[in-house]
Structure 1
């Protein structure tokens, strides 16, 4: 039976029911910007799980982990956790005192301690961050080369319009050469670029600041998600990625014996993806009205039919944790495949498109030169 999150007191001390869930629901999983990165968290939780399984106490396990750290900041962080354990604090409360750890970790570890499954929760958290790191590497691998090609090509075009084309324009003007239409068009573009490129850079900076200021607002997230979903290949890739994050989180929470409804309530606040958040809000309401998870999810396009079918099996066999784990593994495999496909598909198109632009500029500049050489000859 699910518990009501809003009815849990907000005291930080003693029992499990005193978890500050309200503040937790307002925060997300920290992906970037933490000195104790996801890669370090993966190693931390994986090793902690192994040490606990081997029979070591939590304090001894953390002290062993301190000895392996090379950075003083990491040593101080883990040493602080050990000190608070010695003072009588729980591991979860010790973790909550440090900004390097998310509320997601705190809540999971708290449940692990209360239910005696800390070793299992630590292992699941290690797997959780391992998958996140793999997803990040996959995305970086898929997008790094196209981005480098784009930046290089745009720098080349900028250089040509800023320096090369004006130089040719002076030559044509001095020799009073009759220019083809394409050359006149490129020269006109170069003149416009010379006048307004600084304004263009300023607009880009303002747009970037505006996006940073509004990226958390629902209307902006809705517009952005709708736009991305309409991009061939990329939209489906992003949807799969977000669904994989959802199933990863649910797998971890169900393994910690959190009721499924509460898992949905917690997860919908962690994943910054408007279509999924909106769908989960409606799914939660449907479940409270007596519908099954598969029935409520079936009404939303963000969840595919294959996922719905597996969830029906989970409900009939009472194997939610196993099915969500299988879904996570399948989605991660699909993400890996789609990332390679996107990379292989986008790269030649980018090269052809930008190569074509450079070629047009060069042809436009050299056509009058050929005519000029004929006249001089």
Structure 2
């Protein structure tokens, strides 16, 4: 069965109604770091829709139930608009298409489900996709939270020593005219730098964190940053596994829906926001348009390993593409879980050792002049 795949029409999201009064202000959400309909809400949306449709409830009734269960006014308006469009005769895929909160991958997947009569399965697979995507994010956050707490605490300790302890020793050495070793002079220079520019650096760092997405959009900074992360020891392999898990799951869903392989590659390329993978898929797309087989198009890049290429070749020969992508997805999901645990295990002692070295250098640099000071006082 063939499917008509048309370019996605982009339109601006329907504006939120003006909020008045303190009660509405308290109900409103502040979204500094992305859309209000994030991956967590997409997981809930697709999971609940799949459950209700499987139970035999009509799509309109399902959306009505979702709207009723929302506490946030913007979400209630969001579902109200979807209901109005559904009653106007639009399909679910058409409703998703006019909203920038949903990706082209989601829109086409739902369209294919509607045309093939497999909407319940497609929506369930989309729910599974976002469950795994959110789980991967949680694994990464869990892996980094404790090491980052240790890192921040250790940095505060080092800054406190440089800002408070080092100046005390500096005053003592200056009053007694002690000649300072080179390492002590360096530490005192760093202390003076933090004293003069510490607040400025803190403000700039906070501003960079808040505006990081906007800054990365300038020129090709996002692409350069993605490639830098990919080349980082161990972390690069971890990030690569995360995106390969997303890629294989998306391909498994699309191949199960009988989407042509070339269109599947094009949709996944637009869906996954990771420059090395996008560029690789773009190269694959060009090769396939020139008549290259799928497994041959996987060759010649640093994203896909030989294991994947070999399995894809077997899948083509046996017509088991969907099965192979599902198995690959399971392997990469397991690999992400294992690497996230190992990442936390490695980072914690590594951070302690590095910060310990910094603290040790500061202490040594302060105690070295003490020997000369004792000689001066003894004389």
Q: Is the TM value for this pair above 0.5?
A: yes
Aligned counterpart, 1:188: 189
Deviation at 1:212, TM superposition (A): 4.7
Per mean C-alpha deviation after superposition, the further-off stretch among 354-363 and 221-230 is 221-230
TM-score normalised according to structure 2 size: 0.83
3-state SS of paired residue (2:178): coil
Aligned counterpart, 1:21: 8
Q: Is the contact between residue 46 and residue 124 of structure 2 (CA under 8 Å) also seen in structure 1?
A: yes
1:76 aligns with 2:77: yes
Per mean C-alpha deviation after superposition, the further-off stretch among 227-236 and 305-314 is 227-236
Aligned counterpart, 1:253: 254
Aligned counterpart, 1:37: 38
After superposition, residues 233-244 of structure 1 pair within 5 angstroms as 233-244=234-245
Q: Deviations over 1:35-75 (max 9, x none)?
A: 22212221221221122122221112222333333333323
Aligned counterpart, 2:139: 138
Q: Is the contact between residue 128 and residue 252 of structure 1 (CA under 8 Å) also seen in structure 2?
A: no
Aligned counterpart, 2:347: 346
Aligned counterpart, 1:161: 162
Q: Is the contact between residue 218 and residue 274 of structure 1 (CA under 8 Å) also seen in structure 2?
A: no
Inter-partner Cα distance in structure 1 for 2:78 and 2:359 = 53
Gaps of 5+ in 2: 12-32
Deviation at 1:283, TM superposition (A): 1.2
Inter-partner Cα distance in structure 1 for 2:121 and 2:281 = 27
Q: Is the contact between residue 2 and residue 262 of structure 1 (CA under 8 Å) also seen in structure 2?
A: no
Deviation at 1:217, TM superposition (A): 6.3
Inter-partner Cα distance in structure 1 for 2:363 and 2:128 = 53
Q: Is the contact between residue 2 and residue 260 of structure 1 (CA under 8 Å) also seen in structure 2?
A: no
Q: Is the contact between residue 2 and residue 261 of structure 1 (CA under 8 Å) also seen in structure 2?
A: no
Q: Is the contact between residue 38 and residue 133 of structure 1 (CA under 8 Å) also seen in structure 2?
A: yes
Aligned counterpart, 2:276: 275
Deviation at 1:341, TM superposition (A): 1.1
1:315 aligns with 2:316: yes
Inter-partner Cα distance in structure 2 for 1:57 and 1:213 = 41
- Cα separation, partners in 2 of 1:110 and 1:337, compared to 1, 3 Å: same
Q: When the two structures are aligned, how many residues end up with a matched partner?
A: 357
TM-score normalised according to structure 1 size: 0.83
Deviation at 1:111, TM superposition (A): 2.1
3-state SS of paired residue (1:269): helix
